[in-house]
Chain A
């Protein structure tokens, strides 16, 4: 049973650049959520995708956007990168029909903005 996978594992970008992170959900899951985790802190919710639409959004600027594909995989895009965007980006998947929405996390993508 394949768990949540994310790519790439690490990424280095410079200020002003754009980045795309990818996530494949756990087998059988249809909902993908993205979180940003700064060093020493708990993850912060960015947004959630279900049925290829953004279902809910956290307190993040429009520079953060996403997409969900028909196979339930998802991308997170960040434009005009700032130094403060350096963080571990986590993807979590869940099954909407379960009613419990327990979320399982991938290993994360470590983004460093220079």
Chain B
């Protein structure tokens, strides 16, 4: 079945830094979604990407749908303390149904 490899697994941020994370797959997707999940809560949609090559921003967040349709990245610019949390990528391939396949998550922590 389809699997998503998300990296890095965790990262430390210092306020003001730019951070980047990505997801890769062995198979193609029609849609890439990026979610943020805080402890004890459900994932919150950050950015949705529907077309290969698409670059979309949401405030300080920017995400791109890779042209091969097998990867996506998320950038956070000028990070702030509330950016701490777990970020998940998720892919959807319509021919395989409407289920989302999730990556393992990137845990963003504050640098001590």
B43, B44, B48, B50: which has the most chain A beta carbons within 10 Å? B43
A101-B104 CB under 8 A given contacts A55-B97, A56-B99, A106-B42: no
- Number of chain B residues close to chain A: CB under 8 A: 27
In chain A between 31 and 54, which residues have their CB closer than 8 angstroms to a CB of chain B?
31, 33, 35, 41-45, 48
Inter-chain contacts of B100 with A (CB < 8 A)? 33, 35, 43, 45, 92, 103
A59 to B1, CA, bound (A): 10
Q: Is A105 at the interface (CB under 8 A from chain B)? A: yes
What 3 A-B pairs have minimum CB-CB distances, sorted nearest first?
A42-B102, A105-B42, A45-B99
* Residue A94 interfacial (CB < 8 Å): yes
- Determine if B42 and A33 form an interchain contact, defined as CB atoms under 8 angstroms apart: no
B31 within 8 A of A: yes
B41 to chain A, nearest CB (A): 6
Beyond A41-B105, A56-B99, 10 additional contacts (C-beta under 8 Å) are A33-B99, A35-B100, A42-B88, A55-B98, A58-B99, A90-B43, A100-B50, A103-B100, A105-B45, A106-B42
Most buried by A among B44, B97, B100, B101: B100
Give B residues with C-beta under 8 Å from A.
1, 4, 6, 31, 33, 35, 40-45, 48, 50, 88, 90, 92, 94, 97-105
- Chain A's nearest CB lies how many Å from the CB of B108? 15
